[in-house]
Amino acid sequence: MKAKDLLEHVDFLDSFKRYGRVKRVVGLMIESQGPESSIGDVCFIHVGTKKKRKIQAEVVGFKDENVILMPYTSLHDISPGSLVETTMKPLEIKAGPGLIGKVVDSLGVPLDQSSLPKGLASVPTEQDPPNPLSRPPISEPIEVGVRMIDSLLTVGSGQRVGIFAGSGVGKSTLLGMIARNTTADLNVIGLIGERGREVREFIERDLGPEGLKRSIVVVATSDQPALMRIKGAYTATAIAEYFRDKGLNVMLMMDSVTRVAMAQREVGLAVGEPPTTKGYTPSVFAILSRLLERTGTNEFGSITGFYTVLVDGDDMNEPIADTVRGILDGHFVLDRDLANKGQYPAVNVLKSISRIMNNIVADEHVKAAERLRELLSTYINAEDLINIGAYKKGASPEIDEAILRYPQILNFLKQGTNEKVSINESVQALLQLVRKG
């Protein structure tokens, strides 16, 4: 850069620091008079008398020329007149190969209190989704190591899938199996709104040492402020985007997107948004679309997304489940009745779908999957008659075949949590099962 150009650049630099003062605190919301800032800017609130410290907060709105902020941590020690300093830029986190194997919080800080490795790049947590015309079509499957999924609900590299279930039906266990068994280059796992007890259990039991070696885990527990839970989802997505832009095929798993929506509802209500469907504010549905559209393929690599969705009372039509299902490229429904019968993974094949499968697998594979669905559906529809002895053998050849094949189908659908099956083995087992008889 020439000296003249450099001087002109310096003339445009803003060297002033801008400050404001806390005016009042209401619930989760901090209202301050100044500083001059924009939505999404990070600010520091100076607190404490003897021991000075800074509380990070974010600008989430404006009211009567005052700035509305929400903190990333607790509100303790904030008092009227506390100094508010703006950074004039949104939240950025560090990303790079040095993060692999680490567990970090929503701000990208390691939870084991170790220091970040050198050589990491700064990445904004909020980014625009890829241009639709720059997204290559999904053309090849990605192995997840779960026989039922690889054979009957084949997932494409860059596809986004929702895992819908009530509490305690095996979502975390299924995510752990996928993380350990997938052929993706890297896992990025966002644990959003989880109980603190469950975080270590997931890392040690479900993910395991082998899974952690090729994963980055982002944690925002349920006790943290709403903004930290939202940022946890954004941070996990931003890290996945960083590696996608380096040409990698990334597996992004988020548990759960429902808790992200609940956190955004808290923020929306705090800043005065009107509640709409079941108390969710309009911004909830806006951020869900934006967050989920950030994943998928781009010209460099791909992000295959698995998002768990909690459904109240196993109601698949509640607002968040319905919205997410409409955005994603498929959904897997975990059935409590199947879990109670001891079938794991408890995926209800008849209620689940992969919208990409027919485009990425051979016709023989598609026909075999459809045939197994037909047999399973026939048995389920006649199950009550079979159980009470009302069905007489020979009344329907289709039901007779379904009864004959059902034990084999059930054995095919079951898989141990530590059992790894390749996609080729899964497809061959499916073809062999369908061809019998």
- CATH number, domain at 186? 3.40.50.12240
* 74-124 per-position pLDDT tens digit: 888 888 888 999 988 999 999 999 999 999 999 999 998 888 888 899 999
Domain boundary among 360, 383, 401: 360
Does 4 fall in a domain?
A: no
Identify the residue with better confidence: 212 or 12.
Answer: 212
Say if residue 157's pLDDT is above 90.
Answer: yes
Question: Does some domain include residue 325?
Answer: yes
Is residue 214 located within the same domain as residue 349? yes
Residue 49 above 80 pLDDT?
A: no
Asked if 60 and 182 sit in the same domain, the reply is no
pLDDT digits (tens, 9 = 90+) for 216-247: 999 999 889 899 999 999 999 999 999 999 99
Mean pLDDT of the chain: 88
Q: How confident is the model at residue 376 (pLDDT cuts 50, 70, 90)?
A: very high
Predicted confidence band at 417 (pLDDT cuts at 50, 70, 90)? confident
pLDDT score at 189: 95
Q: Do 325 and 269 share a domain, yes or no?
A: yes
Q: Is the pLDDT of residue 15 over 80?
A: no
Same domain, 380 and 282: no
Specify whether 137 is located in the same domain as 215. yes
* Same-domain status, 66 and 180: no
Across the range 359-376, mean pLDDT stands at: 94
Confidence at 211, pLDDT banded by 50, 70, 90 = confident
- For residue 12, pLDDT beyond 70: no
Q: Is 44 helix (H, G, I), strand (E, B) or coil?
A: strand
Q: What is the pLDDT of residue 198?
A: 85
Same-domain pairing of 112 and 78: no
Are both 242 and 281 inside the same structural domain?
Answer: yes
- Structure confidence at residue 119 (pLDDT): 87
Asked if pLDDT for residue 437 goes beyond 60, the answer is no
Task: Give the pLDDT of residue 1.
Answer: 54
Clarify whether residues 129 and 147 are in a common domain: yes
Domain tally, the chain = 3
Q: Which of 34-38, 77-81, 261-265 has the highest average model confidence (pLDDT)? A: 261-265
* 28, 156, 194, 231, 319 from 142: Cα distances, Å: 42, 5, 27, 28, 30
In a domain, 394, yes or no: yes
The CA distance from 19 to 25, in Å, is 17
141, 213: one domain: yes
> Which of 64, 90, 116 is a domain's end point?
90
Query: What is residue 359's predicted lDDT score, i.e. its pLDDT?
Result: 92
DSSP letter string over 323-352?
HHHHHSSEEEEBPHHHHHTT-SS-B-GGG-
CATH number assigned to the domain comprising residue 414: 1.20.1270.330
Quick one: 284 and 425 in the same domain? no
63 vs 11, residue with greater confidence: 63
Examine residue 265 and state whether it is found in any structural domain, yes or no.
yes
CB-based contacts of 140, cutoff 8 Å, min separation 6: 156, 157, 360
Model confidence at 11, pLDDT cuts 50, 70, 90, reads low
In a domain, 10, yes or no: no
Whether 148 and 296 map to the same domain: the answer is yes
Distance CA 361, CA 430 (A): 13
Domain finish residue from 334, 360, 386? 360
**Residue range(s) defining the domain that contains residue 33:** 18-90
pLDDT at residue 424 greater than cutoff 90: yes
Whether residue 13 is contained in a domain is answered as no
> Per-residue pLDDT for 48 more than 90?
no
Query: What is the predicted pLDDT for the residue at 138?
Result: 92
In a domain? residue 161:
yes
- pLDDT band for 386, please (50, 70, 90 cuts): confident
Residue 154 lies in a domain: yes
- Tell me the mean pLDDT in the region 190-219: 89
- Report the CATH number that the domain containing residue 57 is assigned in CATH: 2.40.10.170
> What are 249's strand-pairing partners?
302
Looking at residues 66-75, what average pLDDT do you find? 88
DSSP 379-405: HHHHHHHHHTT-PPTTS-HHHHHHHHH
Query: Residues with Cβ < 8 Å from 165, sequence gap 6 or more?
Result: 171, 308, 309, 310, 311, 314, 333, 334, 336, 346
